[in-house]
Amino acid sequence: MTHKTVRIGALTRVEGEGALVVHARDGLITTLELRIYEPPRFFEAMLRGRAHTEPPDITARVCGICPVAYQMSACQAIEAACGAEVTGPLRDLRLLLYYGEWIESHALHVYLLHAPDFLGYDSGVAMAADHRDLVERGLELKKAGNELVAAIGGRPIHPVNVRVGGFYRVPSRRELAPAAERLRRARDHALATVAWVAGFDFPDVEHDYRFLALRHPGEYAILSGSIGSGDGRADPAGFAVADWPDHVTEEQVPHSTALHARLDGETGYLTGPLARYALNAARLSPLAREAAAAAGLGPVCRNPYRAIVVRAVEIVHACDEALRLLGGYAEPDRPWVPVEPRPGVGHGASEAPRGTLYHRYRLDEGGLVAEADIVPPTAQNQARIEADLRDLLAPRLGLPEDELALLSEKAIRNHDPCISCSAHFLDFRVSRG
């Protein structure tokens, strides 16, 4: 009998800390545990007793990469609890801010984290030494996103201008002009990015995913809509964001601070770019649709390695839609709508760059937060990432441990898990019994 334990202490080029422990016996995987640290749990406790205006600012600190996602899901949940809704030009401004975050986050992942896997580099830094122009293009793209976020959000990370009901102040057309100028160039870069990554050599892998993503009748959903789910073949099923607790349940797993999510009782569904693309591709901007077709994506993509192509297409869409909204931008009459606290429950969901982010708040008689529930995309994807890893590793257990570690890291990176903070190091051990 042979025992094999593969352990990756923390994953490189994944945002934050993670560890993967695999136990195998007689050539079969007995357990596979992705251990991740997720901060939303202690945020939920921290939020209790706070004013209804506070969750957007507090939860924005969960993640340095996607604070806007946290702000948007939080704002919408609180607004729903209070019977308010943000519409028209104020909603457009929220979309613009969110597109900025998508561009920043996706450009970082595509260029510095994911592309090195396909070009044979062990880091974005190593890649930069040989491909300076490419990396500069990625940084310029990212900067276009940063500037859009800064122009609307007040600063590029942890935007301070967002409040329940809208914004503290709204930018003038003139203030947004430099961001628009940069976005025009960024859109060309984004198109070039799609063509570049589409030419990578992808492992021939497909998984039969069950997808979950926000859907919106008129948009490639990012900010709001209803929840859709499906396998990319049959018409997607759907439910209202307010019905989330009836469909998505979470369970504690001993090896992780993250909870495992189940959709209608089933574990292992997938949220993120592949899910959005499978359920919403028809609503991409015409330019993004063309880019996707030219990249050979087809209507559904089940190869997780090709998520890099979908992310690149989403950058095109974000640039394109942001430019469309900026072209028609008129300063809203007022920067926010009043949101009066009242006792009740509100639900909010939006599409963080790495997948659907759900918030629920219950406000008490005094308008304070009595309960908070945050379901981040990485918790939802954790079981699915483990399933991808089982499929990957099961036939390859005989490979040397460093190769297994590398393969595992790449498979995890496909899903861009956001595990917060930024300790990156590799502690890798194998024990054989």
Cβ–Cβ < 8 Å for 162, 91: no
Q: Is 227 a residue that touches another protein (CB under 8 A)?
A: no
Residues touching another protein, count (CB under 8 A): 33
Report the C-alpha gap between 349 and 98 in whole angstroms: 13
Q: Is 50 a residue that touches another protein (CB under 8 A)?
A: no
Give min distance, CB of 146 to another protein, in A.
Answer: 7
Q: Is 124 a residue that touches another protein (CB under 8 A)?
A: yes
Q: Is 1 exposed, middle or buried (0-12, 13-18, 19+ CB in 10 A)?
A: exposed
* Residue 337 vs 426, nearer CB to another protein: 426
Give backbone dihedrals phi and psi of 298, rounded to 5 degrees, phi first.
70, 180
Q: Is 123 a residue that touches another protein (CB under 8 A)?
A: yes
Window 126-165: contact mask with another protein (x via CB under 8 A): --xx--x--xx-xx--xx--x---------xxx-------
Window 73-112: contact mask with another protein (x via CB under 8 A): -----------------------------------x---x
Report the C-alpha gap between 364 and 384 in whole angstroms: 36
Report the C-alpha gap between 383 and 85 in whole angstroms: 34
Sole binder of another protein in the list 8, 65, 151, 349 (CB under 8 A): 65
Report the C-alpha gap between 257 and 404 in whole angstroms: 25
Report the C-alpha gap between 30 and 24 in whole angstroms: 5
Q: Is 119 a residue that touches another protein (CB under 8 A)?
A: no
* Residue 139 vs 345, nearer CB to another protein: 139
Cβ–Cβ < 8 Å for 306, 202: yes
Cβ–Cβ < 8 Å for 212, 181: no
Q: Is 125 a residue that touches another protein (CB under 8 A)?
A: yes
Distances (CA, A) of 88 to 64, 93, 156, 277, 334: 28, 9, 24, 26, 11
Cβ–Cβ < 8 Å for 101, 353: yes
Bridge partners (DSSP) listed for residue 19: 35
Window 388-427: contact mask with another protein (x via CB under 8 A): --------------------------------xxxxxxx-
* Residue 112 vs 278, nearer CB to another protein: 112
Bridge partners (DSSP) listed for residue 263: 248, 266
Sole binder of another protein in the list 23, 48, 50, 61 (CB under 8 A): 61
Give min distance, CB of 103 to another protein, in A.
Answer: 12
Name the residues that contact another protein, by CB under 8 A: 37, 39, 42, 46, 61-62, 64-65, 108, 112, 123-125, 128-129, 132, 135-136, 138-139, 142-143, 146, 156-158, 420-426
